[in-house]
Structure 1
Amino acid sequence: MNYKIREANELDIDHIFQFILKKAEFDRNLGDSLGLVTTNKEIIRKTMFNDHPYAKVLLAIDTNDLPIGIAIYHFRYSSFTGLPSVWLDDLYIEPSDRGIGLGKNLMQSLIAIAKENNASDISWIASDLNESAKKFYDKIGSRQIQKNGSTITYQLTFTS
């Protein structure tokens, strides 16, 4: 399957919201999260598409211009290192589009953004119950830096 990855814009708010709902449902079905969604399209508009967005979105788009995957992220800052880092809030691929390298390509796009911004790392959390995600995160070279109950914190650290 052919697809492209691009930054989301304000016209993508409906798709972003739908992906958030799907990710929450996935988390609920996994049994490790309540997956409670309290955001809405207007909140997304106000917080992601303004002069100082709190988060950004990468969308994977198929050949019919339909979104099939998403990565929601934001930058953090470490006073100890004096460098930014990236927090990956959500990575979600439509079930029918999993296993074709889309997750890897979304992560590679996020790594490129992180490196362009001199970030020291990308971090995120995942459920210990999500076996396919754990295998994927190991395959892309991340490491587990913390485990709290069934929640694992992962990190990809950059050497340069």
Structure 2
Amino acid sequence: MIRTATPDDVPLIHAMVRDLAEYEKALDEARATEEQLREALFGERPAAFGHIAQDDDSGEVVGFALWFLNFSTWRGVHGIYLEDLYVRPEARGGGHGKALLRELARICVERGYERLEWSVLDWNEPSINFYKSLGALPQDEWTVYRLTDGALAGLGAAVE
């Protein structure tokens, strides 16, 4: 079962974000707090949206998708950027990840969004194979760049 996240889900989402960061070998970079996630998802002006995967039999939360809107100047419409997709290891293979992606694809179709995009680490073969099995195509010609911490602060403070 897939449902829209609620404020009561924030502690579980936060825990799974940390689990995902640990899996991606970057736990030290996962500094978001529950309060920050609550504000981003449910504050006065939400910046992100979330969906929860629950086990059909037990009702236990087994995964989540956290996403936000992007915009394509080429297509002239919004799309969804999937920031995080995570299914707990013990629940993998049960269709929860596919169900979460299906819900986001449904939202795209319903709202006229023309893209559903995300990034995956190049060493994460199980996820890459899963995404390819759904028909997703890698965008190999694009390289992601990122400014954070000191580099971001330095550029932001630069005076020309």
Report the counterpart of residue 79 of structure 1 in structure 2.
73
Structure with the higher helix share, 1 or 2: 2
Report the counterpart of residue 39 of structure 2 in structure 1.
46
Change beyond 3 A, Cα 1:146–1:52:
farther
**2: CA distance, partners of 1:83 / 1:93:** 29
Structure with the higher strand share, 1 or 2: 1
Does the 8 Å CA contact 2:3/2:52 hold for their aligned counterparts? Answer: yes
Q: Give identity over the alignment, percent.
A: 28
**2: CA distance, partners of 1:35 / 1:59:** 25
What amino acid sits opposite 1:12 in the alignment? D
What are the ranges of 5 or more consecutive residues in structure 2 without an aligned counterpart? 146-160
Report the counterpart of residue 6 of structure 2 in structure 1.
9
Correspondence 1:37 to 2:30: yes
How far does residue 38 in structure 1 lie from its aligned partner after superposition? 1.3
Does the 8 Å CA contact 2:70/2:81 hold for their aligned counterparts? Answer: yes
Alignment RMSD: 2.0
Match of 1:18 among 8, 15, 19: 15
TM-score using structure 2 length: 0.83
What are the ranges of 5 or more consecutive residues in structure 1 without an aligned counterpart? 152-160
| Misfit runs of 4+, over 3 Å | 147-151
